[in-house]
Copies of this chain bind each other. A is one copy, B any other.
Amino acid sequence: MRRSGAGGSGSGTARRNRKSSSSSGSARDRGARPRADGGMRVVVPLQGVVQGRGGLVIGSLIPCALFYFFQLYIKRNRAPRPLPPPPPAAAASESPPGSASTVVSPIHRSLSRGLLSPRAALPAPSARGAAVRDDDSLYYAGLRRCAEDPYHPASNPAGIIQLGLAENCLSLDLVVRWMEEHAAGAALMAGGEDEEERELSVRGLATYQPYDGILALKMALAGFMRQIMKEVSFDPSQMVITSGATPAMEILSFCLADPGNAFLVPSPYYPGWDRDIKWRTGIELIPVPCRSTDNFNISITALEIAYNQAKKRGIRVRGVLISNPNNPTGRFVPKQTLHDLLEFVTEKNIHLISDEVFAGSTYGSGKFASVAEVVDDLEDFDRGRVHIIYGLSKDLSLAGFRVGVIYSYNESIVTAAAKIARFSSVSTPTQRLLVAMLSDQKFISDYLKINSERLRKMYRLFVDALDQVGIECFKSSGGFYCWADMSKFIGSYSEKGERKLWDRLLEEAKVNVTPGSSCHCIEPGWFRCCFTTLREQDIPILVERLKKVTDSHKLNR
């Protein structure tokens, strides 16, 4: 677009010059000398300048300057890009903004006239506000559709079964029991013995606390994370607590990259990142495809290529963003790959962000290794480029509590993020409640053990159920998902075909799953299916519903 603008402006300049020379004899012709040959009679506006002294410089300078001011004019008059035309309301007003002058005449207003005349248009929302308002994807469309008509065995048996939302309902009973027994006292009275101390403690609930979380919660979280990511210790002073992992990711991204910069993101990746990172930070996410033939392993070669391509396009890559256990595939990132990633980001002098919100929700045979563990193994490694996102929504089933963590080895980033946490603080009563819960060692270790067993069991049941209808799943080890290959059920091997199947699953089978395209998977036909929102007794119903679609596909062939 800018290219055509350049051409257009060039001829525009020429046109303007022609006009001025023909109408007024033109001041520019002053430098022209009388010519001996009469052969050339083309009207050439810059001829005089070119032939005169200083022609070299001025002959190039004048078109350039005209072009420059033309660009400036265009820029001024169209900036912020998707602006609507000047509102008609303004034109109707007493002093139209178009006629702005330095000396403002005294303003006479009649209230009735100014306020009560019907206005044609409201001021538009900001361009970015409108973009957020209109932003949608199948992932969110499915969630919304499901929220409107949720399946319930008794009250809404024909409703949509939710396999799209990453919520763990398998162990909620444990949380509920703890809350019933402890919450009341724990939240309010923490630390209170005598009357005055108790009042101080309750006062502390209401008054301003550090935006990035109270120290007691940071300490409790460090202990909990240590328990989950075995053999690793976490330092509360490197922690920033936010109202969920979502703002944790956004705040960290804001601190690591500027608008127009990019992160390389091995894909398929969590569909929420497109909102969490792009909406407000202006950072670009560059998917770096992993392939089923390679077990969706992260390829350093592919990262290298993507890095160089971005550089060629003039985009500065500021980091690599991974999730581990991977969302949506449920795969653990192997320790060797983490090593390779650390080497890659060191070589490029960029950051590594590891989203480990499912670190404690594992059920596979392999062993999960946090990037923190790998970093701890390396003695001379400069950790300041490594950052971890964590939260309690997944591993403690506390999505409604909105508690996320930025854990960074970079002091500078921790300082900035702690300041930005003013926009995403957790309320103090909730922090108190969590301090009590996380400090209850017996509850935590019981919960982790039982939850892991239940996850493993439900995963097996779910995979078997899909197998019954001919759907194969990628072998996953953590998280709440199966990564299911339904490519044999799509009509055309394309995103369109995948979308059609997704639509049939939602509208005919009444099952909401997340299509791979929402996760930027380049191979059509993969779907993310969350199995932790199901109960065992729902599985036969699910199978029956899926069969509707898979069987009809077989018939159509």
Contacts and interface: CB of A to CB of B under 8 A. Distances in A.
B346 A10 contact: no
Interface string A210-236: 000000000000000000000000000
Q: Dominant SS at the A interface?
A: helix
A493 to B, nearest CB: 28
Contacts of A542: none
A314 interface: yes
Interface in A55-108: 55-57, 59-61, 63-68, 76, 79-80, 83, 87, 89-90, 93-95, 97, 100-102, 104, 106-107
A280 B254 contact: yes
A195 B426 CA distance: 30
Interface in A514-550: none
A125 B256 CA distance: 5
A141 interface: no
A157 interface: no
A423 B246 contact: yes
A115 B6 contact: no
Contact of A382 (B119, B247, B311): B119
A10 to B, nearest CB: 4
A36 B318 CA distance: 62
A351 B123 contact: yes
Interface residues of A, number: 168
A90 B60 contact: no
Contacts of A494: none
Interface stretch (A45-53, A322-330, A499-507): A45-53
Given A122-B410, A342-B115, A10 B422 contact: no
Contacts of A398: 206
Interface in A281-332: 300-301, 304-305, 307-308, 311-312, 314, 316, 318-319
Contacts of A132: 255, 416, 419-420
A378 interface: yes
11 contacts: A11-B57, A46-B46, A46-B50, A79-B314, A111-B343, A119-B349, A123-B351, A130-B416, A183-B188, A206-B401, A402-B425
